[in-house]
């Protein structure tokens, strides 16, 4: 079996420059006969010389493997930029009309897309937990939260196409539940007692922004062994009631805003 190593030689065509160059030498079994500088094949290679060459070759191959492994690893490691989604703020103004007052924020578009109210409630009927976040704390938002709850209950009871059979449970927050850890503990305790197909509507509770709200949803999903989102059934999602209509943080530090936006109907006239 032959192995190879690099040795330094001189350029035989340019003796005046005597530039060092590299050539490839073969080293085989120490019992084989190799020629020396005089081409005398009768002299065997010495054991000491062979061991030195074999040690040099082993070291060279080892270093080459380390370099190759390092290059391969660095080519597959994801960059920090791809590990998390970049922050995204909504562009333009969300226009609320009597027809378009519910919106969905999924996708990479910087503009929330209007959806039908009936489609918005379908998201809630198929979820496991829905947080009702208040974008503004006033009587109008409180009435809106009750309206969303009533519509969801009616849609669940109708058991129309795309609606998971079950009941709607509600969990109101107490004055002492301002801390997210306390909110999370109550939600998990209640959600674990739900029957199959039931959904838990939580709130309304004050929104603390995309990052904080998203973290609460992620923690809830983790403890319940499910996922964040309403595209499939039994997930954890949220709706932002009367939130900002401009410069809404759709993505912040890797967390997405509420999947649904719901606004009070504009005054008539």
At 52, is the pLDDT very low, low, confident or very high (cuts 50, 70, 90)?
low
**Residues 35-56: what's their mean pLDDT?**
52
Highest mean pLDDT among 38-52, 59-73, 80-94, 206-220: 206-220
pLDDT digits (tens, 9 = 90+) for 145-184: 999 999 999 999 998 888 999 999 999 987 656 688 999 9
Treating both helix axes as pointing N-terminal to C-terminal, what angle do 210-224 and 180-191 enclose, rounded to 10 degrees?
A: 30
Structure confidence at residue 136 as a pLDDT band (50, 70, 90): confident
CB 239 within 8 A of CB 103: no
**In residues, how long is the chain?**
269
Contact 224, 236 (CB under 8 A): yes
Handedness of CA 193, 195, 199, 201 (dihedral sign): negative
CA distance 238 to 257: 8
Domain ranges of the chain: 3-74, 88-262
Give the mean model confidence (pLDDT) for residues 32-46: 45
Which range scores top for mean pLDDT: 18-32, 128-142, 190-204?
190-204
Q: What mean pLDDT is reported for the chain?
A: 78
Residue 79 pLDDT grade (very low, low, confident, very high; cuts 50, 70, 90): very low
Would you identify the CATH topology of the domain 88-262?
Answer: Rossmann fold (3.40.50)
Q: What is the mean pLDDT of residues 38-53?
A: 52
Q: How far apart are the first and last CA of the chain?
A: 94
């Amino acid at each position: 079996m032959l192995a190879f190593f690099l040795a330094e030689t001189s350029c035989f065509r340019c003796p005046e420059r005597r530039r060092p160059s590299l050539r490839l030498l073969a080293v085989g079994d120490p019992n084989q006969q190799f020629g020396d500088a005089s081409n005398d094949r009768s002299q065997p290679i010495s054991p000491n010389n062979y061991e030195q060459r074999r040690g040099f070759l082993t070291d060279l191959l080892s270093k080459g493997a380390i370099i190759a492994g390092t290059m391969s690893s660095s080519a597959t490691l994801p960059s920090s930029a791809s590990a998390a989604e970049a922050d995204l703020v909504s562009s333009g103004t969300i226009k609320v009309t009597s027809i378009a007052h519910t919106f969905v924020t999924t996708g990479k578009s910087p503009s929330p897309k209007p959806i039908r109210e009936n489609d918005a409630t379908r998201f809630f009927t198929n979820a496991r937990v829905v947080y009702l976040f208040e974008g503004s704390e006033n009587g109008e938002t409180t009435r809106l939260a009750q309206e969303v709850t009533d519509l969801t209950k009616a849609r669940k009871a109708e058991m129309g196409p795309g609606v998971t059979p079950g009941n709607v449970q509600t969990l109101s927050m107490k004055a002492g539940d301002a801390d997210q850890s306390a909110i999370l503990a109550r939600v998990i305790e209640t959600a674990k007692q739900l029957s199959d197909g039931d959904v838990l509507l939580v709130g309304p509770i004050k929104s603390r922004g995309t990052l904080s709200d998203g973290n609460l949803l992620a923690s809830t999903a983790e403890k319940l062994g499910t996922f964040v989102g309403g595209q499939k059934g039994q997930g954890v999602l949220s709706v932002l009631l009367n939130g900002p209509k401009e410069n809404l943080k759709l993505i912040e530090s890797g967390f997405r805003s509420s999947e649904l936006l719901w606004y009070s109907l504009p005054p008539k006239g």
